[in-house]
């Protein structure tokens, strides 16, 4: 029979002190072990029995040095897997150099959740509406993954494979999110559309990062959230703009293209038609923000 659970299921807890310990544990227990940092997505899911119940919860917060956020002009921004959304939102490097990431972080949930949740967790949970994803895609971020076979780097646009699915193997964890140094003169924005002014998942999320020189688009990256099985880039819309002179007409064209490139669903939060229409509107606004000062 059914019920509404208030308690978590029986679980065991493991607090590794080093990365090696964490990885060995993962290798040994595979799917019976789940990693977590903030737990703001995992714990509610476990309570509601919406995900497979693992035997072990592996808490990464015992490992030193994983919460750093660093920046230099060459290497760009490095976000550790335990850096909280609050830490990211209040980080001067983020505020100064990556406004789209700042906007994404500030738009997520509540102060309480931001104090615990992480960008790493957000992208590993891989919900199509993940707020950190569009900006990271538009910034051409990459993630460093660590497993038994060693480290590998995966560009963020290859990281997501489906709703709540990523390329992470059962024995792998996300070690770092790397965001390249912003191109000189680039402007970026993350726009989130939701019914209320807070505490909503995105119905549509649009990030755009680009540079313009003498009125000509030098480069542009556009990414969408909540309108496809994964957060996506829209290269066809980007191609409309690259190398072209910026006009309201071309922004219009690119926005229409972006809307045609997404594959939203009808669900209880919004209809397919509304989502598609809003991709057009938000893409237009994002591109105007990037290109029309």
Partner 1 sequence: MEQIKLTVNGKDYELQIRPWATLLEVIREDLGLTGAKEGCGEGECGACTVIMDGKAVNSCIVLAVEANGRQITTIEGLAEGDKLHPVQEAFLEKGGMQCGFCTPGMILSTKVLLDGNKNPTDEEIRKGLEGNFCRCTGYTKIFESVKAAAQKVRG
Partner 2 sequence: MKEYTVIGQRVPRIDGRQKVMGQAKYAADYSLPGMLFCKVARLPVAHARILNIDTSKAERLPGVKAVVTAKDFNGWTWGFMANTRDEPPLAMDKVRYYMEAVAGVAAIDEDIAEEACDLIKVDYEELPAVFDPEEAIQEGAPVVHDYRPNNVSVEYHWNFGDVEKAFAESHLVREDRFRTSRATKGYLEPPASLAWYDPAGSITVWAAKQSPYFHYRHLAACFELPLSKIRVIQPFIGGGFGGTKNDSVAGDFCAVMLSKMTGKPVKFIYAQEEELTVSKRRHSMIVYNKMGMSKDGLITAIQSRVIADGGGYTAVSPLTMYLTGCCTPLPYKLPHYKYDCYRAFTNNPICAAMRGHGVTHTRFACEIQMEMMAEELGIDPVEIRMRNAIDNPKTGEIYRTINDMTLKTCGIKEAIQTLVRDPLWAQKDKAPKQDGSVSYGVGMSATSYLGGARQLGHQSCAATVRICEDGTVNLITGATDCGQGSDTVLAMIAAEELGVRYQDIDFKMVDSAYTPVDPGSYGSRVTVLAGQAVQTAAADAKKQLLDILGREWKVSPGEIEIKNAEVYHKSNPSRRIPFDKLAKIACYSGSGAVIIGKGYSGYGIEPLGFENGRGNAGTSFSFTAQTTRAGVDMETGHVTISDFVIAHDCGRPLNPIGAESQNEGGAVQGMGQAIYEDFIMDRGKTLNPTFLDYKMPRSTDVPNIKVIDIITDDPDGPFGAKEASEGSHVSAPPSVVAAIHDATGIWFKEQPVTAAKIVAALKEKGKWPR
Task: Out of 92, 111, 150, 195, name the contact with partner 2 by CB under 8 A.
Answer: 195
Select the binding partner of residue 256 from partner 1, partner 2, none (C-beta < 5 to 8 A, by kind). Answer: partner 2
In whole angstroms, what is the distance from residue 190 CA to residue 232 CA?
Answer: 14
In whole angstroms, what is the distance from residue 4 CA to residue 6 CA?
Answer: 7
Residues that bind partner 1 (CB under 8 A): 6-13, 15, 39-40, 43-44, 47-48, 57, 59, 61, 86, 109-113, 115-116, 197-199
- Tokens 């996300």 -> residue: 174
* DSSP run (H or E) holding 59: strand 56-59
Helix axes 272-291, 248-260, angle to 10 degrees: 150
Binding of residue 10 to partner 2 (CB under 8 A): yes
Number of residues that bind partner 2 (CB under 8 A): 29
Q: Which stretch binds partner 2 (CB under 8 A): 26-34, 126-134, 164-172, 276-284?
A: 276-284
Binding of residue 256 to partner 2 (CB under 8 A): yes
Distance of closest approach, residue 120 Cβ to partner 1, in angstroms: 16
Distance of closest approach, residue 80 Cβ to partner 2, in angstroms: 28
In 3D space, the residue among 150, 179, 155, 178 whose CA is nearest the CA of residue 166 turns out to be: 155
Contact predicate 290/222, CB 8 Å: no
In whole angstroms, what is the distance from residue 233 CA to residue 35 CA?
Answer: 28
**Closest to partner 2 by CB, 5 or 148:** 5
**Closest to partner 2 by CB, 51 or 256:** 256
**Closest to partner 2 by CB, 132 or 186:** 132
- Tokens 């390249």 -> residue: 180
* DSSP run (H or E) holding 13: strand 12-14
Distance of closest approach, residue 264 Cβ to partner 1, in angstroms: 24
Binding of residue 198 to partner 2 (CB under 8 A): yes
Q: 81 φ, ψ to 5°? A: -65, -20
Tokens matching residue 83: 């850096």
Residues that bind partner 2 (CB under 8 A): 1-7, 10, 48, 193, 195-201, 256, 267-271, 274, 277-278, 280-282
């Amino acid at each position: 029979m059914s019920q509404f659970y208030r308690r978590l299921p029986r679980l065991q807890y493991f607090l590794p002190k080093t990365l090696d310990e964490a990885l060995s544990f993962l290798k040994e227990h595979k799917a019976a072990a789940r990693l977590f940092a903030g737990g703001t997505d995992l714990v509610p899911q476990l309570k509601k029995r919406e995900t497979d119940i693992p035997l072990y919860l592996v808490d990464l917060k015992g490992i030193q040095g994983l919460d750093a956020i660093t920046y230099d002009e060459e290497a760009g921004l490095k976000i550790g897997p335990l850096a909280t959304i609050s830490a990211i939102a209040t980080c001067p490097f983020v505020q100064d150099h990556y406004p789209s990431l700042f906007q994404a972080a500030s738009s997520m949930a509540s102060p309480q959740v931001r104090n615990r949740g992480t960008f790493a967790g957000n992208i590993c949970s891989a919900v199509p509406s993940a707020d950190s994803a569009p900006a990271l895609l538009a910034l051409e971020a990459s993630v460093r993954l660590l497993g038994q076979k060693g480290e590998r780097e995966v560009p963020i646009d290859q990281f997501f494979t489906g709703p709540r699915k990523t390329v992470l193997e059962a024995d792998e964890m996300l070690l770092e999110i790397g965001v390249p140094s912003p191109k000189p003169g680039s402007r970026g924005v993350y726009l989130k559309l939701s019914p209320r002014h807070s505490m909503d998942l995105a119905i549509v999320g649009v990030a755009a990062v680009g540079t313009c020189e003498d009125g000509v688009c030098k480069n542009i990256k556009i990414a969408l959230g909540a309108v496809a099985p994964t957060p996506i880039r829209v290269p066809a819309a980007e191609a409309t703009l690259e190398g072209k002179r910026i006009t309201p007409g071309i922004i219009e064209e690119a926005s229409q293209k972006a809307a045609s490139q997404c594959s939203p669903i009808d669900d209880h939060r919004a209809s397919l038609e509304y989502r598609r229409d809003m991709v057009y509107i938000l893409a237009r606004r994002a591109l105007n923000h990037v290109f029309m000062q």
